[in-house]
Structure formats: C-alpha cells, structure tokens
A and B are shown apart, each in its own frame.
Chain A
Amino acid sequence: MRPPAGWDRDGARIISHRLGPNAALETILIDKGALAGLHVNTPVISPEGVVGRVLRLSPNAANVLLITDPNSRIPVASQINRTQGILRGEGPNRELTVEYVPLGAPIEEGEVLVTSGLEEIFPKGLPAARVTRVVKGGSSLFQTVFAEPLFTPERLEEVALLRRSAGALVVREEMALQDETDAPLTPPADAPPAATAAGQSGRAAQPGQAVKPEQTAQPGQAVKPEQTAQPGQAVKPEQTAPQTAAAKERKAKPGASAAPAVKPRTPSGQKPAPGASPEKPPAAKPAKKPQEGA
C-alpha cells in the first residue's frame, strides 16, 4: 500500500490484542513506540483501510485505539457522493455508525467511506468503512447510516504507521510561523464578516465553516484558526493565511486587488516554483509588524 503524498510509511507488528483486566477499550499493542518516532494520534492503517490511531506510547510499544471502539470518531466522506459524516465505533462485532448525515444527503449501501482529513490526524482519502444500511425516518434530522470496518481485528498481524514526511513538516512549520507573524491585523471596517472569514483569495467558505460575526477579528486581535472553525472542526493554516495576507495588501496599497498578494500553494501544501506567483511587495512588510499593546 503506497502512502499518500507528504506521508511516510513504517511497518509494525501486533504484539497482542486486548489483554488483562485493564483492557477496557478496543485496542491492540504494536511493537513500535516513541523511540521509533511515533506520537499520540499517529494513523495506523492496514492494506484494507484505516485501523485506528495511537492512543498511548511507551518507548518500545504503543496502544492503538481501533475504529471499532465507541471512543473513536473519524470524519469521513462517502467516496462517490461525497456526503460527509462522523464515523463512530460501537464496540466489538458491531456495525459502525455514521453520525450527522443530513436527511437529504445522498449515500448508498455498499459505498466506501473515506477519511475527509478534517481532523488533521488521518490523511484525506483513506478507505475506512463500507456502508451496509441506510435508515431514514423518525423525527431525527439526520439519517441513520451503518457501516462495517474494512478489516477484521482478530486477523490483523501487521499494520502500517503513517507519519508526515520531513518536507511536509517543514512546510507546516513555515505556514504556522507565517500565521504568527501575520496575526495582528485589522480587517477593513467595510468588509463583511463572512468575507473576512473566507478570505480574499477566491476560496468560498465551506458549508459548516461560516463564521459568526462575533468571531471575526477585532482591531489588534490576533486571527487564529480556532476562531474560524466550529467546535471540533480544525481549520488548516491555508484557510487563514490568505485572508491575513490580503488584508495587509489592502492596508499597504489601498484600492489594490487582494488576489495578487496571496501566496498560492499547491494542494499538497508544497510551495510553488519560484516565479510562479507574485511575491508580497516589500512595502507591505511594515504593516506586518505586531502592534504591541494594541
């Protein structure tokens, strides 16, 4: 199984499944730990699909929380219809459920659910489960969708661990650093709140990502990703960086278009080739300085 772009793969053997009186959760024990570079929430997959994520670490072993455990929740999207939901475990030998699927959303039996990557733990597009039943009815606003995991826990012997590759980590750190330096900006007074949240780069706010007016940046207040997301929904740095850069551009050059000031990035998060996009004008630099005590 080839790892997704920007991720490295490492193999691990399963030492044991549930063992002893302290095994309250659906976990497996693998023979790689912190010394092998693992972290909490490291994705664990098998050739069939997503297995779980690292729950606890020791130097040479790690506990992996399976997706069948009731404490596991993964944002997923159906592979064909792109209907989104939250995949939740229901315990051993029970079907998984997909929560928060609206009544009108199309989803079919037999459709594969893939990770949507919204939680920034799993890479986007990994197969996680297959829809077995779709039940509509009752007074709920959501469909009841059941799914089955793509792997058999009892038959697992080896798993693969996914880690962000070194290049991807450098890009993420650069973007985080850029966010910190761009943070204390004042949005224009006439800008509508939705435009402030969605950014000026032409990217529209995603459904469910609409930002309330009180969540927009106040003068001198840092714009953080948490302020543009709903509870439990992480926002990638790419979604906030263009906004701040565009606001700076407007501040430096009143009346100028915001689009050229945005430093575009490829979908994989890599920097574009030199000369592929206009760089920020040096005149905008003084406006980036954090306003101390503002």
Chain B
Amino acid sequence: MRPSRVLFWGVFTLAGVWFENVIPGVDFLAPGFILSIQEERWPVTFWLAVLWLFIQEGAGSLAFGSGILWYGALAGMYYFGHWLFEARNFLFMFILGVCLGLLHFLLTQVMGALNDWTIITERVFLECLLQALIFPVEWGLLFLIYNHLPEDANAV
C-alpha cells in the first residue's frame, strides 16, 4: 500500500475516533469501512475492520459481539445492495445510511434486552437519525478525498 494511503487511513481513524467522542452513539468509521471495500484489496479492508472493531468494542458498553454484528451486517447489506444499485452511487449510500440507522436501533434494543438493561429510547432514536444523515455525507467526502490523493510521493 502506498504511503499516502497509509497516511489517509491513519488520519481517518484518528479523526473518526475524535468525532465519535464529540457525537457519541454515531459510528464515524463505518463510511471508511465501505470505502475500503470499494477501493482497497480485501486484506487491507480486513485489517482495518479488525482495528476499528477493537476500538468500538473496547470503548462501548454493550456486550462483546455487538461490533461484529454491526460491521458484519453493514458488509452484508453492502454486498446485497450492490447487486441492485451502482455501488458508488450517492443514493445507494443514502439507503445504506438509513438501513444503518435502523440497525443501530435494533441492535441496541436487542442487546439491551439480552443484558436486562434499560436503554434511553429517545437518545437512541436521535443517534439513529444522525447516523442515517451523517453516513452518506461522510462517505461522499471520503470518496472525493481518497480519489484525489497523489499517486506517489513525487506526484503533486
């Protein structure tokens, strides 16, 4: 992988964690996961997903496995959807964001029920809305930045 790509994913991970701290409950790394599926080879995507999975699982309060379900369902929805839509279409990303928002609500409620926890439904609903809105916008920005990176260190 080129140094510019390494730098891109490193900065993206740091920025994503910072944004997650600013707006809790929203996954800012999920658009990067989809972008890596679209643009990178699968070993790169795999290791990025493992890194982000550990971050989400370690920082979150749900039982272990929620992150695996989260990213697994996201990858499943993407592969299912790209048979029907153009994979790099903004409309497809918008639909994927809506599905991700619904998945966040479902996953939080199910994991809360399994752990016998009381979940603040109003807050989860707001997080779902933010997730659905932020996902396609962030993916669009990432797509533009990624495809305008210099090809090598000497290129300007």
A interface residues (Cβ-Cβ under 8 A, vs B): 16-25, 27, 29, 55-56, 58, 61, 63, 65, 70-71, 91-92
| B76-112, CB < 8 A from A | 104, 108, 111-112
How many cross-chain pairs have Cβ atoms below 8 Å apart between A and B?
73
Q: Given A19-B17, A70-B118, A70-B120, are A24 and B112 also a contact pair (CB < 8 Å)?
A: yes
| B43-62, CB < 8 A from A | 55-62
| Inter-subunit contact A23/B120 (CB<8 Å) | no
| Inter-subunit contact A20/B55 (CB<8 Å) | yes
B interface majority secondary structure: helix
Q: Lowest 5 CB-CB distances: which A-B pairs, in order?
A: A22-B60, A18-B24, A19-B59, A70-B118, A25-B61
| Inter-subunit contact A19/B120 (CB<8 Å) | no
Q: Indicate which residue in A20, A58, A61 contacts B24 across the interface (CB closer than 8 Å).
A: A20
Interface size bucket, B side? 20 to 34
With a cutoff of 8 Å between Cβ atoms, the chain A residues found around residue B36 in the complex are: none
| Inter-subunit contact A23/B104 (CB<8 Å) | no
With a cutoff of 8 Å between Cβ atoms, the chain A residues found around residue B70 in the complex are: 21-22
| Inter-subunit contact A20/B123 (CB<8 Å) | no
B20 at the interface (CB under 8 A from A): yes
| Inter-subunit contact B56/A17 (CB<8 Å) | no
With a cutoff of 8 Å between Cβ atoms, the chain A residues found around residue B67 in the complex are: 22
Complex: A55 Cα to B59 Cα, angstroms = 12
With a cutoff of 8 Å between Cβ atoms, the chain B residues found around residue A23 in the complex are: 24-25, 59-61
| Inter-subunit contact A17/B61 (CB<8 Å) | no
With a cutoff of 8 Å between Cβ atoms, the chain A residues found around residue B15 in the complex are: none
Q: How far is the CB of B133 from chain A (nearest CB, A)?
A: 15
Q: Indicate which residue in A16, A24, A55, A63 contacts B111 across the interface (CB closer than 8 Å).
A: A24
